[in-house]
Amino acid sequence: MLQLVMGIAGGLWAAALVVGFVGFLILYHFLPLLVLRNGAVPKGSFGWPLLGETLSFLKPHASTSTGVFLQQHCSRYGKVFKSHLFFSPTVVSCDQDLNYYILQNEERLFRCSYPKPIHGILGKSSMLVAVGEAHKRLRNAALSLVATMKSKPDLLVDIETTATRILDSWKDKNQVVFCEEARKYTFNVIVKQVLGLTPEEPRTEEILQDFLTFMRGLISLPIYIPGTPYARAVQARSRISSTVKSIIEERRGNSCKKSSDFLEILLCVDTLSEDEKVSFVLDSLLGGYETTSLLLSMMVFFLDQSPSAAQQLQLEHRRIRSMKKNDEFLNWEDYKLMEFTHSVINEALRYGNVVKFVHRKAIKDVKFRDYIIPSGWKVLPVFSAVHLDPSLHANALQFNPWRWQIELRSIDESYCMREVITMTFIIFEHSSEVYKLLNT
């Protein structure tokens, strides 16, 4: 009898613990709503305890659409609404003006706030996650490097040479997987410009394999258990860092041999620590690799569906080709003549939505129009919703490069400095790659 009573008591205690834990989760989940000082927070839904609406928000959908989640929430609550995403109360913005306001007030009202597991892979010195003075130093270095890159006479030569090498490798193949070729091309260009490594060097292949492991970990379940993609990604980053550090030591030990790549310029920047310089190199690889190759693949896909755009693009490049000798490389004056090419790139960025949203957090209560964004809440400016907004772009769900010849607002205004620096290189690189594709 005593054992029965003790068993029942134990069961009741276990049940009480479960109920208490569930109650705690529910209270913790909805507590931000209970402590609000006013009712001016945007309308919306918090979803399930702990997970919130994260799974619905991240549900895969075509990049040329906003997806069911945003469509339903914008229809129900408006272009700005509250939710609970990535384990945090969140304000989601599909509004162009609010997005611009958020990005213009970074470090004053808002701060970069990517999920903690991303920090573990990218490292605390990454420009994507750094805040405050650290971010300012990295940003200034990035702007300096972009300015230097634009003045390099051999930049377009390197890009065009790499494109030619990739295209020549197709001659004996019945078919190619273009997205894979785009990744190969992009990686070779980035590694050459950043580290001065050619595709033939063994370290280039080593970095590529580690980088592929690193990329897989970025989209994996963030659990550090040996053998998991996340753990392998952290280890891959460590190996890439070691390789970069060894290259830096070689450069410093061979001061007589000067290179003209990013790393050589970066070594002269006294405001960055050693770890920040290594992280900057990794950011350059990451920022250029996935976004650039994805954009190039999208451009080819969209142009295949738009014969008139492909034809005008080809005419533009043939006209430039006719003004040059057979063995003459592109120069900056040729680049400036590629007006329709730039329109195609802008439209692919808009319609393809390479960067859908970024993570920010309010560092103080922010009043915008008639509502409040509470301090500590996550804020997600969704670029794809603005890009595909029919009130901002006529026939928004159609690929139409000609719109950029009449629309004055540049697509770059939809992005913050972290993304614009990468996009500057994207435009340079793609102009040359498209040129080679259309003249081969």
- Which residue type sits at 366? V
Q: Which fold has domain 39-438?
A: Cytochrome p450 (1.10.630)
- Residue 358 near residue 381, CB atoms below 8 Å: yes
Strand order in the sheet with 88-93: 80-85, 88-93, 378-381, 360-362, 110-112
Rounded mean pLDDT of 376-397? 95
Three-class SS of residue 399?
Answer: coil
- Which residue type sits at 158? D
Note the pLDDT of residue 247: 87
Taking Cα atoms as reference points, which of 239, 349, 244, 374 lies closest to residue 299?
Answer: 349
The yes-or-no verdict on residue 403 having pLDDT over 70 is yes
Alpha-carbon distance 110 to 365, whole Å? Answer: 10
Note the pLDDT of residue 334: 82
**80-84 long-range contacts, CB within 8 A, separation 24+:** 80/42, 80/371, 81/42, 81/43, 81/44, 82/41, 82/42, 82/43, 82/44, 82/45, 82/46, 83/44, 83/45, 83/46, 83/47, 83/52, 83/53, 83/57, 84/29, 84/46, 84/47, 84/52, 84/53, 84/54
Percent of the chain topping pLDDT 90: 28
Please list, in sequence order, all residues whose beta carbon lies within 8 angstroms of the beta carbon of residue 28, skipping any fewer than 6 positions away.
Answer: 49
Structure tokens at 143: 């702007």
Rounded mean pLDDT of 273-282? 83
DSSP string, 323-363: TS-TTPPP-HHHHHT-HHHHHHHHHHHHHH-SS-B--EEES
Query: pLDDT of 77-125, one tens digit each?
Result: 999 999 999 889 999 999 999 999 999 998 899 998 888 777 777 877 7
Rounded mean pLDDT of 290-317? 89
Note the pLDDT of residue 5: 47
Among the listed ranges 44-53, 248-257, 337-346, which one has the minimum average pLDDT value?
248-257
Query: pLDDT of 134-193, one tens digit each?
Result: 877 877 777 777 676 666 667 777 888 888 888 888 888 888 898 888 888 888 888 888
The yes-or-no verdict on residue 416 having pLDDT over 50 is no
**Average pLDDT value over all residues in the chain:** 80
Note the pLDDT of residue 127: 78
- Which residue type sits at 205? E
The most confident of 64-73, 401-410, 419-428, by mean pLDDT: 64-73
Predicted structure pTM score = 0.81
The yes-or-no verdict on residue 231 having pLDDT over 60 is yes
- Which residue type sits at 325? K
- Residue 53 near residue 69, CB atoms below 8 Å: yes
Note the pLDDT of residue 414: 46
Three-class SS of residue 279?
Answer: helix
Three-class SS of residue 424?
Answer: helix
Note the pLDDT of residue 12: 55
Which of the pair, 312 or 30, is modelled with greater confidence?
Answer: 312
Alpha-carbon distance 5 to 30, whole Å? Answer: 37
Q: Where are the domains of the chain?
A: 39-438
Alpha-carbon distance 318 to 324, whole Å? Answer: 10
Pairing type for strands 88-93 and 378-381 reads: parallel
Using pLDDT thresholds of 50, 70 and 90, give the confidence band for residue 424: very low
The yes-or-no verdict on residue 74 having pLDDT over 80 is yes
Alpha-carbon distance 143 to 73, whole Å? Answer: 37
Side-chain half-sphere exposure of 51, counting CA atoms within 13 A: 7
The yes-or-no verdict on residue 412 having pLDDT over 50 is no
Three-class SS of residue 85?
Answer: strand
